[in-house]
Structure 1
Amino acid sequence: MQPYLVSILPKSGVFKATSSTIFKYQEHSMVANGGSLYLQSLMILGGAIIAAPLFKRLGLGTVLGYLAAGITIGPVARLIADGEEFLHFSELGVVFLLFIIGLELNPSRLWSLRHSIFGLGTAQVLLCGAALAALGVYLAGLDTEAAIIIGFGLALSSTAFAMQVLEDRAETNQKHGQRAFAILLFQDLAIVPILAIIPALSPNEPSQASAGFHLATAIASIAALVIAGRYLINPMFRIIANTGAREVMIAAALFVVLGSASLLQYAGLSMAMGAFIAGVLLAESSYRHELEADIEPFRGIFLGLFFVAVGLSLNLSVILEYWAVILAAVPIFMATKIVIIYLLCRIFRSSHNDAVRIAFLLPQGGEFAFVLFSAASAAAIISSALGSELVAAVTVSMALTPLSVAIGSRLLIKDKADDIIEENFDGAGSDVLMIGFSRYGQIAAQILLAGGIDVTVIDSSSNRVRAAGKFGFRIYFGDGTRKDVLEAAGIRKAKIVAICTHKKSTTNHIVNLIQSEYPDVRLFVRSYDREHTLQLRAQGVEYELRETFESGLLFGQRTLEGLGLSEANAYAIREDVRQRDEDRLHVQASEGIMAGRHLLFNKPVTPEPLVKPTREGQRIDKSDDGQRAPSPQETAAAPVAAE
């Protein structure tokens, strides 16, 4: 059985693999419609290009725009007759999406989400499935077998819709976004046992041997994918990278995604799960960012086409024929899921607002429901007519996702307690632990991220944490002066701790704490001023930098260039000043803050009186008591010493 990217043909109950679906669709379109596939593709792309920006501009989101384009082109204008075939092909967008998500989740971070995945995720699938099955028995009069399949099919949510909404709202890396993803990930895993019970519920004679064979095949396929990911894929990319052929690297990236997806599909699992596992295995690869850049364009276009295809596949004739049933069923099953997911999130210690966000994000039916209902129809558990009704109901629920999220946003509570962010360090632990994320830290983090370095950031400002999360940064709320916070943030895994706090006293406290508790940790520290630099060097930090030093040097260089000096000469002067400053620091470290004045550049000032002096002047190198007075150079050097 190949449960993902299959045709939904309730009357025949036949499963067709993606590749055969695509080829048959192309053959049918080219022969029956005289080469209209090209024109259909243009219509779909044109509709997406027009609708998505328009709906985004209206504040309705790109997902609703894609859906509107599909509904207009398909069911309304009837420019494309068979939207379901196109839907199965465009589901490759979900495959690429899961691969990219996997790239962002290294195994250690995935392990840190285990409580949300196997705790909250398990509870959601079981309770929602049981509740919806019970409603099917008592409200719709379904038999037990059909109710179980329908209940658990509707308990699953749409990964594509939910993740796109989170991405549009820049909430993927926020706590509720991570928990929603954990639930979706478990749902992808749950499809396997749910599909496995279909033969047992079928009125046809079940085959125990067949079920055991599929289970063994699934386990063997996952093991093969893990082995290939660890020992074959990285060497392959290394060889390809050495050739310098960019197009071959892109082809290899597509091969890895589609190959891993197909392997698990033929084993009876989902293509999306195969792509996700491949992504996780490559998350710590040196080619991670290259792969993400190569796959991202395909992910974007196929995911957009998937939303268009959902609109195309909306069967208006079924909706019109069974409108009363669908009108009652969709709100009931969505409301049931909202209530259960909200309560479960509260039990698992989510705040009210996070629980509301998650519950109203995941009430729709998902892509896997299509698979289950097709399989149930083939196994004679449900009728073909009922299968068509369920597919229409799931499609309508998907289309209602943006509306559901908008309703949930109105139920959020805004109070002071909501501004307090819980110290949660799920997924923390990187090569660099950055403490403080003000302007200085943000600039430094950009350099590290551009270099492919994973950074864990903690900051004690809830406003800064919330704002940074909207831009996609993985930042945690916490006080860097506390040992327990540093432990939770993964200081023992960090190769370097970058202290970017802006208060001198706070910085000193953190440096002292880390040097006493973690003496082997390398410290890179933001210095407040010259005296602070000398103090930090005396404490033995590996690297320090005054917060205004580099910007002042560059500003001076650019000013010289603005006055006509060549860039090379201005740069040479800047570097000379930098070296003099370093030499002066070495002298001051041993002789005190006033030492090294001879290394400063200064120009003596000759005062010109604005009014006639009232008495005769005297030599400026003599004081009233006959002692030598400080020279202008010495006078000018005094304030500089404390810079």
Structure 2
Amino acid sequence: MEFIWILFAFVCGLAVKLANLPPLIGFLFAGFLLNYLGIQPSNILESLANIGITLMLFSIGLKLHVKDLLKREVWASTLSHMGIWTILFSALALLIGVLSLPFFGTLDLKTAALIGFGLSFSSTVCVMKLLEESGELKTRHGQLALGILVMQDIVAVVFLVAATGKIPSIWALSLFALLLVRPLINKILDQAGHGEMLPLTGLFLALGGYQLFDLVGVKGDLGALIAGILLASHGKASEMNKSLMNFKDLFLIGFFLSIGFTALPDLAMIGMSLIITLVLLIKFALFFGLLTKLKLRARTSFLSSLILSNYSEFGLIVVSLSVANGWLAKEWLVILALAVSFSFVITSILYRQSHRLYQTNKDTIRRYESSGCLPEDIFSQPQDARILVVGLGRVGRGAFESLKNLVGNGVAGMDADRNRIKKMQDNNDNVFYGDGEDADLWERLDTSNIQLIMLALPIAEDSTNIAIQLRKANYQGQIAAIARYQDEREELLSAGIDNVFNFYTEAGTGFAEESLALIQ
């Protein structure tokens, strides 16, 4: 039985990937196809899905800083959006009911509000997958979307407590003692090394956090998130996240398959779910309007709104509770499962074109930008730099350090990870915060004295987009980039990049040359 799930997931995922779409769309389709063929899920699939979500929330925690949740643009936008959206959707659902469309006619104000509340959440799974695949998790809009998702999770915990009447145990107060054992957890992580014990330690802490919170009557997913947050400042947090990435992605396939097993729809259900999917336009407009009013830049607001404009699997939980209590007909579970699936597909397709969409419509989008931006969104201008390194990960940081020894402050560095930039600035490095794919940045940045820009980015498509934006911004200097594979190298060269360094091949060459010097 397990092989059949893997077979369908593989075939559908590969077919969708060949069409240049995210594989998760294929996994969703595989679930519905398996359900249609009468193949029933087992407890194993549900367990895989649960582990995948738990690991994903733990990974979110590893990248999250609590102070980010206290920013006004995070908590104010989340709570305002959920409240306004619930009211708007309730009114729209009751209006559709007046038109005697199927299933909507039976809704009253209470049930319409419940469905609206469930649909106010955005999918943590979908958003995280897209941000990771595009390498934008540490960008300004990525961190903003992440903060909003965590705030939504907190609201979800409060709702489940109120709806189920399940009050946390008095022992839940003892969870605050986790702050005291944090040094011990850090020591355990120090001793885990860099091999197979590191991902095993991550699995232990993620699942342990889940079980601990669940044991005292608190949502277990929140425990996995908190466990990750406790380790976010540890030096190995990033390494642990990378070691868990493949495990998490594999388990999440179970989650996407399980959505298809929710139920089989008829034409009326499909029609109603498509109507609900169209309402995503309102969700996007509401996010965009609120974020710009909170003085976020138009580009940040646009990208964050676009990736958050989907429906969450939590909506299915809200409807399941409503069906169990007799408030809603069971058909609504199928309708919402379809709407969630459709929203995943739409977000996955549109977000891959997000930077191109902004570039094409930036003049229109900028009209909604507030006159004064937040202080952290103001661009810094590198001083006296002739060389700019974009991307300060392992390869970029190594290049920056080497050039600093050669030309001093003649080299500057730029990265979209604000915490990384702060640490390097504390070390008196000539670096500044910036998102390389931000078209506004290159238009406002004075690059007339910069002779060379080095793109040390892990995703070739990002380097291609930046090169195009640089030429449009009339940058006249040289551009160099890195590539992992030969086909990527050819792509980058055809995009107008002057030199492409294949770091797998060239690292081996450099290693051989320097080692040979030892015996000559």
TM-score (norm 1): 0.55
Aligned amino acid, residue 223 of structure 1: F
Partner of 1:499: 430
Unaligned runs of 5+ in 1: 1-39, 200-209, 429-433, 454-463, 477-488, 507-557, 571-643
**Equivalences for residues 147-162 of structure 1 within 5 A:** 147-162=112-127
Q: 1:43 to 1:223 in 2, by over 3 A?
A: same
Distance in 2, Cα, partners of 1:126 & 1:423: 24
1:261·1:272 contact (CA, 8 Å) conserved in 2? Answer: yes
2:25 is the counterpart of 1:64: yes
Partner of 1:129: 86
- After TM superposition, give the deviation of residue 152 of structure 1 in Å: 0.8
Q: 2:56 aligns with which of 65, 87, 97?
A: 97
- After TM superposition, give the deviation of residue 161 of structure 1 in Å: 0.8
- After TM superposition, give the deviation of residue 188 of structure 1 in Å: 0.8
- After TM superposition, give the deviation of residue 61 of structure 1 in Å: 2.0
Aligned amino acid, residue 316 of structure 2: F
Q: Partner of 1:171: helix, strand, or coil?
A: coil
Q: Partner of 2:131: helix, strand, or coil?
A: helix
Partner of 2:253: 304
**Equivalences for residues 479-518 of structure 1 within 5 A:** 490=422, 495-499=426-430
2:42 is the counterpart of 1:86: no
1:132·1:151 contact (CA, 8 Å) conserved in 2? Answer: yes
Q: 1:355 to 1:251 in 2, by over 3 A?
A: closer
Q: 1:189 to 1:240 in 2, by over 3 A?
A: same
Distance in 1, Cα, partners of 2:296 & 2:321: 36
1:257·1:275 contact (CA, 8 Å) conserved in 2? Answer: yes
Partner of 1:75: 35
Q: 1:196 to 1:147 in 2, by over 3 A?
A: farther
Q: 1:120 aligns with which of 66, 77, 83?
A: 77
**Equivalences for residues 276-355 of structure 1 within 5 A:** 276-310=225-259, 312-313=260-261, 315-316=263-264, 318-320=265-267, 322-332=269-279, 334-355=280-301
Partner of 1:4: none
Q: 1:45 to 1:189 in 2, by over 3 A?
A: same
Aligned amino acid, residue 58 of structure 1: A
Q: 1:153 to 1:411 in 2, by over 3 A?
A: same
Q: 1:51 to 1:324 in 2, by over 3 A?
A: closer
2:30·2:257 contact (CA, 8 Å) conserved in 1? Answer: yes
Partner of 1:55: 16
**Equivalences for residues 133-532 of structure 1 within 5 A:** 133-139=90-96, 140-141=104-105, 142-198=107-163, 213-214=167-168, 220=173, 222-228=175-181, 230-238=182-190, 241=193, 246-310=195-259, 312-313=260-261, 315-316=263-264, 318-320=265-267, 322-332=269-279, 334-405=280-351, 412=358, 414=360, 425=376, 441=389, 446=394, 473-474=416-417, 490=422, 495-499=426-430
CA deviation digits over 1:20-41, x for unaligned, max 9?
Answer: xxxxxxxxxxxxxxxxxxxx32
Q: 1:45 to 1:225 in 2, by over 3 A?
A: farther
1:56·1:62 contact (CA, 8 Å) conserved in 2? Answer: yes
Aligned amino acid, residue 328 of structure 2: I
Partner of 2:4: 43
- After TM superposition, give the deviation of residue 290 of structure 1 in Å: 4.4
Distance in 1, Cα, partners of 2:78 & 2:84: 10
Distance in 1, Cα, partners of 2:20 & 2:190: 44
Partner of 1:567: 517
Aligned amino acid, residue 293 of structure 2: I
Distance in 1, Cα, partners of 2:146 & 2:206: 20
Q: 1:215 to 1:376 in 2, by over 3 A?
A: farther
Partner of 1:540: none
CA deviation digits over 1:115-151, x for unaligned, max 9?
Answer: 2321211212222122223333443352233223211
Counting matched residue pairs gives 420
Distance in 2, Cα, partners of 1:395 & 1:403: 13
Aligned amino acid, residue 183 of structure 1: I
Q: 1:566 to 1:360 in 2, by over 3 A?
A: closer
Q: Partner of 2:376: helix, strand, or coil?
A: coil
Q: Partner of 2:277: helix, strand, or coil?
A: helix
Q: 1:397 to 1:378 in 2, by over 3 A?
A: same
Distance in 1, Cα, partners of 2:250 & 2:281: 32
Aligned amino acid, residue 237 of structure 1: L
Q: 1:292 to 1:386 in 2, by over 3 A?
A: closer
Q: 1:423 to 1:147 in 2, by over 3 A?
A: closer
- After TM superposition, give the deviation of residue 295 of structure 1 in Å: 1.9
Distance in 2, Cα, partners of 1:374 & 1:350: 36
Distance in 1, Cα, partners of 2:7 & 2:83: 42
Distance in 2, Cα, partners of 1:413 & 1:96: 35
Q: 1:48 to 1:391 in 2, by over 3 A?
A: closer
CA deviation digits over 1:153-194, x for unaligned, max 9?
Answer: 111111111221222333323322222222211111110222
- After TM superposition, give the deviation of residue 248 of structure 1 in Å: 4.5
Distance in 1, Cα, partners of 2:162 & 2:118: 12
2:48·2:254 contact (CA, 8 Å) conserved in 1? Answer: no
Q: Partner of 1:82: helix, strand, or coil?
A: coil
Q: Partner of 1:148: helix, strand, or coil?
A: helix
- After TM superposition, give the deviation of residue 342 of structure 1 in Å: 2.1
Tell me the C-alpha RMSD between the 2 structures.
4.4
1:314·1:395 contact (CA, 8 Å) conserved in 2? Answer: no
Distance in 2, Cα, partners of 1:225 & 1:379: 36
Q: Partner of 1:414: helix, strand, or coil?
A: helix
1:99·1:278 contact (CA, 8 Å) conserved in 2? Answer: yes
Distance in 2, Cα, partners of 1:101 & 1:403: 23
- After TM superposition, give the deviation of residue 367 of structure 1 in Å: 1.7
Asked which structure has the greater CA Rg, the reply is 1
Aligned amino acid, residue 56 of structure 2: L
1:55·1:65 contact (CA, 8 Å) conserved in 2? Answer: yes
Distance in 2, Cα, partners of 1:75 & 1:305: 14
